[in-house]
Amino acid sequence: MMLHPVISKLRGKLVVLASASPRRREILTNTGLRFEVVPSWFKETLDKTSFERPYEYAVETAKQKALEVAQRMRLKHLKNPDIVIGADTVVTVDELILEKPVNKEDAYRMLSRLSGKEHSVFTGVVIVHCNKRAGGETEHKVVDFYEETKVKFAELSEEMLWEYINSGEPMDKAGGYGIQALGGMLVEYVHGDFLNVVGFPLNHFCKQLGKIYNSCPEIKHKDLAMCEEPWTSVSCQSEKGVKPEISYFNNFDSVCNVVKPEDSKDNTEGLPQNIMELLDGFKASKTLFTASRLGVFDVLNVSGLTVEEVANRIDASLLGTERLLDAAVSLGLLYKLKCEDKLVYRNTDQARQFLVSDSPLSLHAYILHCNDKIWPLFTHLENAVREGTRQHERTFEKKSENGFKVAHFRTVHFMKAMHSIAKVTGRDVATAFDLSHFRKACDVGGCTGAMAYEFTKAHPELSVIVFDLPAVIEMRSHFQSVEEDSRVSFVAGDFFKDDLPKADLYILARILHDWSDEKIHELLSKLSKTCTPGSGLLLSEILLDEDRTKPSRALLQALSMTEGRQRSAAEYSNLIKKHGFSPVQTRYTGNMLDAMLFVKDVEA
């Protein structure tokens, strides 16, 4: 059973994840579920010795987390969630529960216990289903279950143990390791649900959520003194799941969408939480921009540091640094931990992957571009809306010889931003379709070649020509990949003025949305004349939903009033069919870019 059959029933409902874990957030986001993250304030102080079995401790901890959030949202946030999800993961070996290590020595003790042994990973999950009753009271139904996965570690040498510990990864992981990252190198085998070891048993969760919407038996729960309302509970034995195909890096831009409850449309009682979040949204963005500009994530990449140490390394005031770091913690970008009797700050998994400047999937350059170019541009949004024109000249007080796009494309700054997006999105775009019948591709407007390298890695039989402006090709030396591939070549030219290189697959990634309809038809007409029957056209853009109601970066991006516009899959399909191409397949990747594949008709 998958989540999709019930996803439509959750639209318009407020689903809450009572956990700050970026891993749980990633797994749930990849299902298409829209939810709000409200980390629980429940202190995990339950006496482990009072539970006969480890999974009982995990389930009870998850339950208390979920119930605390459900109660707090009603009393303090002044809104009632429809579903609250709580989870807790523990690692057990030799009948001992291992949670998160408190310091390096604790991590060493944990990993030494796991070395060469099979251990169990238990995740307890609770789904609190909230129903409003007459009189304004809320009835809660609690479904709880657990999942067990067996994991076997290899024999770990002292050198390997300390190398892994010094990477910093063990410090925020149950059992002291993360299987989805460097910790995967320590593992010999996994029996059971892989995602359960990551932190959330997705398959089992989907089954239980489906049962809630079919039938939910009511059994009184006696141990909920913290809540005044009646509760019901269903306990379920573990059902072994399978590892679904899921990408851990394809969802950076869609995490934690907030959906308001159906009955809150005209609600005037209390503070409208979604409006309050929008009011403070610019502060959150600027916190990310400033932390990136000052290099906070880079200095925290090796190990945890105190506020004094961070302030010294970024050359900032102690007061300002502390407030910036605490704000970043509240946004889920950093951890604040007690280590050896002092408070230290540490990068989260997402910060290590996407915010450290030299990370393979770093968005650092794009974040700086947003801070330096997009942020100032959007301060003139009122003028943009009134005039219906872009505000580049008003913002930057100078004219560009050929408009905003070309002027900024001729800077390393802009190329770095586009390079970082291509690195993050490239793998999902390149693997969206079976391209085994194509041999030579042309990445039109391919900039630094980052996308092209992802295509050659995914398709060994494919070579790719990157075709872009001479100034861009000249500056590509700033972006030479450590994984140079002779199958990627670069050709200089203007795709509006010059002939396109011969290929049997043309890639248009983040191209069409930038240009006017007239320019788009000019480019597509050229492609149609260049292509032979059976040639392919791979389009990669942010695809809008048909009615423009779902949260979308593209809708916000369109407010910059460039001459181009964003489109839905149907609109792109109708546009491209006019030039003799037939749509083959559309893929919503869950990443920053979606993909569509077209084939040139035999007779156009």
Task: Check which CATH number belongs to the domain holding 326 and give it.
Answer: 1.10.10.10
Residue 441 C-beta-side C-alpha neighbours within 13 Å: 34
Per the structure block, which two tokens stand in for 51? Answer: 């539970």
Judge contact between 563 and 533, C-beta under 8 A. no
At which of 251, 273, 295 does a domain end? 273
Residue 388 domain flag: no
User: Are 143 and 221 members of one domain?
Assistant: yes
Residue 156 domain flag: no
Indicate which CATH number applies to the domain containing 559.
3.40.50.150
Taking residue 402's Cβ as centre, other Cβ atoms within 10 Å add up to 9
Per the structure block, which two tokens stand in for 598? Answer: 């077209």
Residue 479 domain flag: yes
Which residues constitute the domain of residue 421? 412-600
User: Are 48 and 196 members of one domain?
Assistant: yes
Taking residue 237's Cβ as centre, other Cβ atoms within 10 Å add up to 7
Residue 399 domain flag: no
Residue 481's pLDDT is 54
Residue 391 domain flag: no
The pair phi, psi for residue 488, each rounded to 5°, is -105, 125
Nearest-angstrom CA–CA distance, 190 and 541: 37
User: Are 474 and 584 members of one domain?
Assistant: yes
User: Are 331 and 458 members of one domain?
Assistant: no
Domain count within the chain = 3
Residue 195 domain flag: yes
Residue 104 domain flag: no
CA distances to 71, 137, 138, 297, 397 from 132, rounded to whole Å, are 14, 6, 4, 44, 56
Q: Give the pairing type, strands 581-587 and 594-600.
A: antiparallel
CA distances to 302, 471, 525 from 447, rounded to whole Å, are 32, 10, 22
Helix (H, G, I), strand (E, B) or coil at 202: helix
Residue 371 domain flag: no
Closest CA to 425 of 503, 542, 506, 347: 542
DSSP string, 231-271: EEEEEE-----------TTS-GGGSS-----GGGTT--SS-
User: Are 440 and 355 members of one domain?
Assistant: no
User: Are 136 and 89 members of one domain?
Assistant: yes
User: Are 211 and 266 members of one domain?
Assistant: yes
Judge contact between 21 and 4, C-beta under 8 A. no
Residue 508's pLDDT is 97
At which of 258, 273, 288 does a domain end? 273
User: Average pLDDT by consecutive 10-residue portion of the chain (604 residues)?
Assistant: 56 84 86 84 84 91 90 70 92 88 90 92 91 67 92 90 88 86 88 92 85 50 33 36 33 35 44 77 93 95 90 94 94 87 89 91 91 88 86 68 43 80 90 93 94 93 94 77 75 94 96 92 95 95 82 76 85 94 89 92 69
Per the structure block, which two tokens stand in for 418? Answer: 């586009």
Work out the angle between the directed axes of helices 158-166 and 104-114 (0-180°, nearest 10).
140
Terminal-to-terminal C-alpha distance of the chain: 43
User: Are 265 and 318 members of one domain?
Assistant: no
User: Are 358 and 427 members of one domain?
Assistant: no
Q: Quick one: CA dihedral 499, 505, 509, 513, positive or negative?
A: positive
User: Are 269 and 286 members of one domain?
Assistant: no
Q: Looking at this protein, which amino acid is placed at residue 217? A: P
Nearest-angstrom CA–CA distance, 525 and 579: 6
Per the structure block, which two tokens stand in for 270? Answer: 């209390």
Work out the angle between the directed axes of helices 517-530 and 569-577 (0-180°, nearest 10).
60
Q: Could you tell me where the beta strands, DSSP code E, fall in 41-82?
A: none
Helix (H, G, I), strand (E, B) or coil at 441: strand
User: Are 262 and 320 members of one domain?
Assistant: no
Per the structure block, which two tokens stand in for 139? Answer: 């009835």
Residue 122 CA, chain-centre distance (Å), reads: 25
User: Are 314 and 268 members of one domain?
Assistant: no
Indicate which CATH number applies to the domain containing 41.
3.90.950.10
At which of 227, 257, 273 does a domain end? 273
Catalytic residues: 88
pTM over 0.75: no
Helix (H, G, I), strand (E, B) or coil at 540: strand
